[in-house]
Structure formats: structure tokens, C-alpha cells
A = this chain, B = another copy of it.
Amino acid sequence: MSYITSREIRLISHPNGIPTSANFTLAQTELEPLQDGQVLVHNLYMSVDPYMRGRMNGGKSYVPPFELGQPMTGGAVGAVVESRANQLKPGDAVTSSYGWREYFIAKPQELHPVSRDLQPLSVYLGALGMTGMTAWAGLNLVEVKAGDVIFISGAAGAVGSVAGQLAKLRGCKVIGSAGSLEKVKFLREECGFDIAFDYKSSPVFPVIEQLNLAAPNGIDVYFDNVGGEMLEAALSALRVHGRIIACGGISGYNAEIPQPGPTNLFNMTTKRLTMKGLIVGDWLGHQGEFEQEVGGYFRAGKLKHKETVVTGIDKAVGAFIGLFEGNNIGKMIVKLN
């Protein structure tokens, strides 16, 4: 009986502030022999996502914290290499939450088979995966419709870049903020954003002024991936009865002490705004609908899946930390050997 050796990344201490490589270890483990009803999967790509930062803290949140000394989990797409289950055969591509590792054993019901027709398979971690579904769910959550002026922060990220493209497909005017000129170029030239600005380039012009310039008559919808000054600027620019998708707050994820909220939150009242929190997990019942609509756009060439790829599980921690330095354009993907 042969044993499979797999490498995996374990959290070994809770980060204070920005995570460092010292919070993690790359460990080698031997998988148990395959049992009846199980399959062995080789991960081809794994996902690193900003929301994982919250799971690295000790406290409870909407997802359980990662356990110290254990391999972390997260989205991954892999290929079945051995099967003792009828539902799957070697070569089948599957997504799972068994990320941060090279190989794993699971039951078919823990896996979601995906078509190999779409390439790269990492699209199932991005535009057609959790982050794409988050973007789609956010637009549905506040009923974004043709004619809406929507502002998206973190627009060049995995969620923002899909949200903007989908909003364009719905007939919106789309404005995005991002942290480099390269990202702005990507938003304008590849994602079809009407306006994109680099919030880091002009410290003399605060976000709020850049947003006012981009949307002199205000915005209808704000898709928040960032929090902080982006949220404050959006609260100022939103029109009466505007809507906010409270999706992410990457500007605060590494804060060592809680950060104050926007000083102009009372705009919620004076402008009768609606703010709705979004966790994509609430939308799993709509997965078929998502795959049909957004998969259709992708197949038709109407939706770009942009990714930033690093290769090797030993690069995964660096890729994760890089999310907070804005190193990714589109989805940050770790390709496994």
C-alpha cells in the first residue's frame, strides 16, 4: 500500500496586525490509504482571499477561526487522481474547500464537479467561483439595475473587477477606485469601467474629491470592498435612497486596534440610504442561477477572468500577504505543482 505525501500550510500563531510568514508553517503529511467511497484529489490551484484574515484571529466570526497547528482551508480546484467512489473518476475536475494543501482525500459530496471545457480551471476560484459569485450576489442584494451609477472600491480585485463588468452588462455607469495606474488601466481597458481612478496617486486629492469628479451628480450604489475612507467618500457621494453593499473592509482587516467608522454615517438617515451586509455563503441556494448567468457571460467572451498567479505551495503565504499590499490584479491564484 502506497502512501501519498502532501504538503500543507498550517497556521501556527494568530497574527497581530499584518500577518508574517512566522505565523505559518509549511508541513509535510502522509495521507491515509483511500477507503471505499472516497477519492484522492490533487489540487491544481488554490485560492487566497482577504476574508481569510478574519479566520486567522482567535475569535468567532461568521466562519469558524482556523485552528492553530492544523492545515488551513479555503477554495481549491483539483483533479481526481484515484477514486473509490462511483460518482467520480480519475481526471475529473472538482472544486472544494480543501485549499492550502497539495493532495487530500474526501467524499464526493464534499466536492463540486466542474467542466474542464473552461480554461484555466482557476476560473472556478475567480469569476465563476466564490469571488465572482460574491460580485453577482452583491448586485442582486441591492437590485442594481440599468441606469444606476455604481462606485466600486477595490475595483481591480477579484470581486470588484467582476462586479464592475457585471454592472456594465446590466447597463450601469461604473466607477472604480484602485491602488495603481496599472490597475486603473486594467479597469478602463479590459473591464470596461467608465471611470477609474488611482486613489494612491494623488494624496493631494482625497478620495472624496476624486469620486466627486468622477460622479458630479452622485452615485446610486456603492459596492464596498474596502471600508475606511472609501466608505466615507461613498456616503458623501450617494444620492437620496442610494444603496450600499457592505461586502468587504480590507482597509481594516489588519488593524491591531479597532478603527473608527466614517464620520458621516448619519448620511444613512438624511439620505435614507440602505446598507446591506453580504456574505456569499447565504447565496449558495442560487448557485445554479449564478453559474448559468455568469458562466454564460464567460463562455460568450463577455466577462474577463483576470488573475495574478504565483506558483508553488511555498509561495502561498506570500501571495496571501500580498493581497494586503495590493499585489494582485484580479484574482490572486496559487498554482500548485
- Listed in ascending order, the chain A residues whose CB lies under 8 Å from chain B are 54, 61-62, 227, 231, 240, 246-249, 252, 258-279, 282
- Taken together, the copies of this chain in the complex come to 2
In the complex where A269-B249, A274-B274, A277-B271 touch, is A262 in contact with B264 (Cβ < 8 A)?
no
A72 CB → nearest B CB, Å: 19
- Docked complex Cα distance between A272 and B142 (Å): 13
> A266 contacts B227, CB within 8 Å?
yes
- Docked complex Cα distance between A171 and B231 (Å): 36
A136 CB → nearest B CB, Å: 16
Main secondary structure of the interface of A (DSSP, over half): loop
- Docked complex Cα distance between A270 and B278 (Å): 8
In the complex where A274-B277, A275-B274, A275-B275 touch, is A264 in contact with B258 (Cβ < 8 A)?
yes
> B62 contacts A270, CB within 8 Å?
yes
Q: Which of B62, B247, B259, B266 contacts A263 (CB 8 A)?
A: B259
Q: Which of B240, B267, B272 contacts A278 (CB 8 A)?
A: B272
- Docked complex Cα distance between A282 and B273 (Å): 12
What are 16 contact pairs spanning A and B, CB under 8 A?
A: A54-B270, A61-B270, A246-B268, A249-B266, A249-B269, A258-B263, A258-B264, A261-B261, A261-B264, A268-B276, A269-B277, A269-B278, A270-B279, A272-B276, A272-B278, A275-B276
A269 CB → nearest B CB, Å: 4
> A268 contacts B277, CB within 8 Å?
yes
A203 CB → nearest B CB, Å: 20
Q: What are the 9 tightest A-B residue pairs by CB atom distance, in nearest-first order?
A: A261-B261, A260-B260, A258-B263, A261-B265, A272-B277, A246-B268, A269-B277, A268-B277, A275-B275
> A270 contacts B274, CB within 8 Å?
no
- With A268-B277, A269-B278, A275-B275 already in contact, 9 other A-B pairs whose C-beta atoms are closer than 8 Å: A227-B266, A249-B269, A252-B266, A258-B264, A267-B277, A269-B277, A269-B279, A272-B277, A273-B276
